[in-house]
């Protein structure tokens, strides 16, 4: 099976060699975890390989996203001008999903219009949860997402990232609770507090047809590089615990000296 790089060497290794070409993957995490940056890093890697890529913003203004990427030293505009990169916005009303369900082709047709029916290598939907937010009938939402994924995989043969936001502190892997079952793999990004600091974390929760590394790693976001995966969270926690023990020992020694 052909592999597609995430644009992050360490993450490729965690996934067993990268994404499997033509499959769909879920990137889940709370607000501020770095999901969009990971998605843009994935697209940038494709553009550097001269692959046609699509970024669909379902929430934020796409111009704001690309301008924000410039703070990392990433300029996507030349790829837009030369027709290799197709960033656009789309808004689908929840009422449309409830009414038409699986028969709705609005989203798929939008992608075909923007790309003029040309080949697509990589696609990002950000966030996919906005596609059907507010729809009450679970069946329609599930089948709508299934149809979109099927089209992107079977017709476009594109490697796709579905970005989903989850509530802070939640143990869920997606907004609706079944996106993870439709995806071939799941990457979870989070934020944890350690020694009074906020630490970003990332791990692979699911990866079909591939041997994965499920270790929870820490990462930084660095200008020019994007996401840089570092040491395992357990290693960082152990170091923190050792510092606390050392500090307690030194405090005990000071108290003994003062009492004597």
Q: Range of 21's domain? A: 3-233
CATH number, domain at 51? Answer: 3.40.50.300
pLDDT, mean of residues 105-124: 83
248 within domain boundaries: no
What was the pLDDT predicted at 199? 95
Is the torsion defined by CA of 23, 29, 35, 36 positive or negative?
A: positive
75 within domain boundaries: yes
258 within domain boundaries: no
Is the torsion defined by CA of 118, 121, 125, 131 positive or negative?
A: positive
Measure the CA–CA gap between 204 and 55, rounded to whole angstroms.
23
pTM attached to this predicted model: 0.86
247 within domain boundaries: no
Q: Would you say residue 170 has pLDDT above 80?
A: no
Per the structure, how many domains does the chain have?
Answer: 1
Is the torsion defined by CA of 77, 44, 186, 8 positive or negative?
A: negative
Residue 146 near residue 152 (C-beta atoms within 8 A): no
What was the pLDDT predicted at 101? 47
What was the pLDDT predicted at 149? 83
What was the pLDDT predicted at 196? 86
């Amino acid at each position: 099976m052909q592999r597609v790089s995430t644009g992050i060497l360490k993450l490729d290794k965690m996934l067993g060699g990268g994404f499997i070409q033509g499959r769909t993957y879920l990137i889940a995490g709370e607000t501020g975890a770095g999901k969009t940056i990971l998605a843009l890093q994935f697209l940038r890697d494709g553009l550097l390989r001269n692959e046609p890529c699509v970024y669909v913003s379902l929430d934020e203004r796409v111009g704001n996203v690309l301008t924000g990427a410039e703070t990392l030293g990433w300029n996507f505009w030349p790829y837009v001008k030369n027709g290799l990169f197709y960033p656009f916005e789309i808004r689908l009303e929840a009422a449309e999903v409830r009414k038409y369900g699986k028969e709705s082709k609005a989203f798929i047709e939008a992608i075909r219009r923007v790309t003029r029916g040309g080949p697509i290598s990589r696609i990002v939907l950000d966030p996919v949860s906005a596609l059907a937010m507010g729809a009450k009938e679970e069946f329609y939402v599930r089948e709508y997402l299934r149809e979109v994924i099927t089209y992107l995989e079977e017709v476009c043969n594109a490697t796709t990232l579905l970005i989903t936001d989850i509530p802070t502190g939640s143990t869920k892997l997606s907004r609706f609770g079944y996106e993870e079952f439709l995806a071939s793999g799941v990457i979870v990004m989070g934020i944890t507090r350690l020694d009074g600091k906020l630490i970003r974390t990332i791990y692979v929760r699911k990866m079909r047809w591939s041997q994965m590394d499920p270790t929870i790693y820490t990462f930084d976001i660095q200008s020019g590089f994007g996401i840089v995966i570092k040491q395992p969270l357990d290693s960082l926690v152990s170091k923190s615990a050792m510092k606390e023990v050392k500090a307690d020992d030194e405090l005990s020694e000071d108290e003994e000296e003062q009492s004597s």
